[in-house]
Amino acid sequence: MKSLLYFLCGLLLLTACKRNRDEGMDIPPSISSFWPNSGKAGTIVTINGAGFKRKDNEVTFNGTAATVLDVNDTVMTVLAPASGSSGKLSVKTNGKELQAGTYTYQNLSMRGANPLNGPAGTNVVIVGEGFSSINAPAKVLVNGKEATITSVNDTTLIASVPVSAGSGAIKVVVDGKEVTGPAFLFQDISKIKPLKGGKGTQVTITGEGFNIATANNTVAFNGVAGTVISATATQLVVATPDDVATGPLTVTINGQKTVGPVFTVIPPPVLATVAPLSGPAGKDVTITGVNFSGVLDENNVTFNGVAGVVKQASDKELIVTIPAGAGTGNMKVWVNGQETGGPQFKEQNLGVVSLLPDNGLAGTTVTVTGIGFSANPADNIVTFNGVTANVVSATATTLEVVAPVNVTTGTVNVKVSSLDAIGPVFKRAGVMTLAGGPGTGMFAGATGLTGDRNGNLYFLQGQQVKKLSPDGTVSTYTGGTVSAHVDGPLATALFQNPRTITVDIYDNLYVLDGIGQRNYVRKITPAGDVTTALTVLDNISGALAVDNNGTIYVGKVYQGVFKSEKNGSLTKFSGFIHTVPDKMAVDALGNLYYAGGDYYNPFVVVVPTSGLNRVLAGSLFDVGFVDGDGSMARLGSPLCVMMDPTSGNIFFVDNMNMSIRYVTPSGTVKTVTGAGGTFESFKSGYKDGTLTEALFKSMNGIHVDRNGSIFVLDQSNNAVRKIFLK
């Protein structure tokens, strides 16, 4: 019996709760709009609102009852009564009487319009009657702005939505009469942020006319759908798809597409340097690399999970303030949602910010800048890639140190008391004289430079081929003091006006010599045999190259570049009519590279196997000293191209600019060293040291070995110089 009582009490409580909930959800009736606001008897009128009762509704047109066709909570459709007249349209529903507005009985009416959303330029088809006029053309207004009518008859209008129309009712005006129809939802994309990113980037789209239901908005990036995360009428947040591609962003609602700005896909950020790698909260860290954003809030940097403040931003550099509580842990960088891991950072009162210079050889004096150093030099322990250096002087923010004898490329670290700080990388790089020097006369009149895989260098001097061993010893390799054309062993072979020398992948040397219209390419094998590989009965320049298949390339004066065939004949390879002055290079694919060689031809040319010449870098007649891409770069008098077998970069000497430079296979020119790091033309001299200190004068030979070291015949300084890059 007790259980039955409990059940009845529970049932009563549940019924009461349901009744209270239903009563709490009862919405007061209201009317937001109705259309059309004119027409004949029998016109279907749609009334929009809320809280309508599903039955027992009364609608009157200026007091005359109308037939209710259909009703739900928010929409009621009725027929304009036959005996009605122009006046107030009233609705009585759910015990409340509402005034919708004025309805006019006239021949002009609107039964519908489609589509009811879209961007500027959308063609809206309006169906009704009374659109024709013999007095003046009909007008269509969207939100009060006149649209362009593209087609009209008595029952159909087609109008193009005007620019910046905004959302509002569609109105038709004919002969002073007007009818207002349904509301048009105007779609527009005013901006997207960010404009660049990649997989998973969250893009905020700002505009109007969006659907507040996320599923009803389709957003595509160059045709590939993204994921809509949130939606309001004026803003969408969308995640890019995995296969996002560069192209316009579009928003489609109810089949109507709105085209926005182009979204550009870029790779994730790449970090090059971070300095300092330790420091106290409030100090700044500089991050260099690529693919950052110039918009501050599109870059996010964390220190061990704690967000730093990005103070300055460009596509290649970020300056970030160290946050309090960073502790010790890895840094991370996000750019527009794309993440890149960084090095470990340590929050402490010791840090290394910069090195000046950041390259050099043993004995180079380096200024280390940072925070938390001891003013007592002996209290600061500085190491170059693990090797302890001598600290000459010290303040709280600078240390003067000398690169140790056995310095190698690596980080410069500082230890003060119990604190350790990792610094930037110091590169063992610079210029030293391998042999000779001003006043020695060792390389007077010498020309050309090449080398074998054992580290020996070869150059031409007088009628001889000279050899320069790795220890700097110069000796005569072959040739005599008299001018003649004699093949044979090294000891008896003779040369006649040798002027260009190069080497193939098997260490065979090739020398271009001869006089007038009788010229030869001589081959010297590693075994010491000198033979004539090619005879050219024509006036040829100093251009010479050999590819991996043993094909020889020579240049004829004002005729271009020719290549040898197996039968010893020559066929034209390059159609440029200017004269190539010296050593050329051929890559593994058979592309030929050469330099113009003087102030009138300050460029580097690539000739693919098709033989169609293309200027890779520089510009005809336009000399200068500018690094950069392709035709934006400026060269002086480029000579003696040489391909780095490791990187594929094409090195050359630039005599007007007294520098050693290279161009990448894609055409970007960079300066390695020379001119004292000033980028001043004709700044010459003789100085060894760091890459930015070194000076050269009138170079006419270059070689890059398989370790990446560069050797230059600096003739006017009577020296062969070695440039370390690693």
pLDDT of residue 485: 96
pLDDT of residue 562: 94
Q: How many CB atoms lie within 10 A of CB 498?
A: 22
Question: Which residues lie closer than 8 Å to 708 by C-beta, 6 or more apart?
Answer: 644, 646, 647, 725, 726
Q: How many CB atoms lie within 10 A of CB 334?
A: 16
pLDDT of residue 333: 97
pLDDT of residue 34: 94
Say what the pTM is. 0.71
Buried-exposed string 65-78: b where 16+ CB fall within 10 A, e elsewhere: ebebeebeeeebeb
* Tens digit of each residue's pLDDT (9 = 90 or more) over 130-157: 999 878 889 999 999 999 999 999 999 9
The domains located in the chain, with CATH, are 30-105 (2.60.40.10), 109-186 (2.60.40.10), 188-265 (2.60.40.10), 270-347 (2.60.40.10), 351-428 (2.60.40.10), 433-724 (2.120.10.30)
Mean pLDDT of the chain: 92
* Tens digit of each residue's pLDDT (9 = 90 or more) over 28-61: 999 999 999 999 999 999 999 999 988 889 999 9
pLDDT of residue 591: 94
* Tens digit of each residue's pLDDT (9 = 90 or more) over 684-704: 999 999 999 999 999 999 999
Concatenated DSSP letters of 464-506: EEEEE-TTS-EEEEE--SS---B-EETTT-B-SS--EEEE-TT
Mean pLDDT along residues 176-192 = 94
pLDDT of residue 339: 94
How far are the Cα atoms of 57, 74, 76, 95, 648 from residue 91, in angstroms, in the given order? 7, 13, 10, 10, 84
User: In the predicted model, is pLDDT for residue 663 greater than 90?
Assistant: yes
State the amino acid at position 236 in one-letter form: L
Instruction: Report residue 620's pLDDT band, with 50, 70 and 90 as the boundaries.
Output: confident
What share of the chain in percent tops pLDDT 70?
97
Our CA angle for 210, 212, 217, nearest 5°, is 55
pLDDT of residue 347: 95
State the amino acid at position 517 in one-letter form: Q
pLDDT of residue 54: 86
* Tens digit of each residue's pLDDT (9 = 90 or more) over 228-239: 999 999 999 999
Count CA within 13 A, CB hemisphere, residue 589.
9
Among 5-9, 87-91, 165-169, 459-463, name the one with the lowest average pLDDT: 5-9
SS (H, E, C) 83-135: CCCCEEEEEEECCEEEEEEEEEECCCEEEEEECCEECCCCEEEEEEECCCCCC
Q: How many residues does the chain have?
A: 726
Distance CA 479, CA 494 (A): 5
User: In the predicted model, is pLDDT for residue 24 greater than 50?
Assistant: no
* Tens digit of each residue's pLDDT (9 = 90 or more) over 58-71: 999 999 999 999 99
535, 570 Cβ separation under 8 angstroms: no
* Tens digit of each residue's pLDDT (9 = 90 or more) over 355-377: 999 999 999 999 999 999 999 99
How far are the Cα atoms of 374, 390, 393, 405, 646 from residue 379, in angstroms, in the given order? 6, 12, 11, 21, 43
* Tens digit of each residue's pLDDT (9 = 90 or more) over 405-445: 999 999 999 999 999 999 999 999 999 999 999 999 999 99
What share of the chain in percent tops pLDDT 90?
87
User: In the predicted model, is pLDDT for residue 1 greater than 70?
Assistant: no
Task: Find tokens 């990113």 and name the residue.
Answer: 197
pLDDT of residue 25: 53
Instruction: Report residue 240's pLDDT band, with 50, 70 and 90 as the boundaries.
Output: very high
Q: Compute and round to an integer the Cα radius of gyration of the chain.
A: 41
Our CA angle for 653, 657, 658, nearest 5°, is 60
Instruction: Report residue 13's pLDDT band, with 50, 70 and 90 as the boundaries.
Output: very low
User: In the predicted model, is pLDDT for residue 114 greater than 80?
Assistant: yes
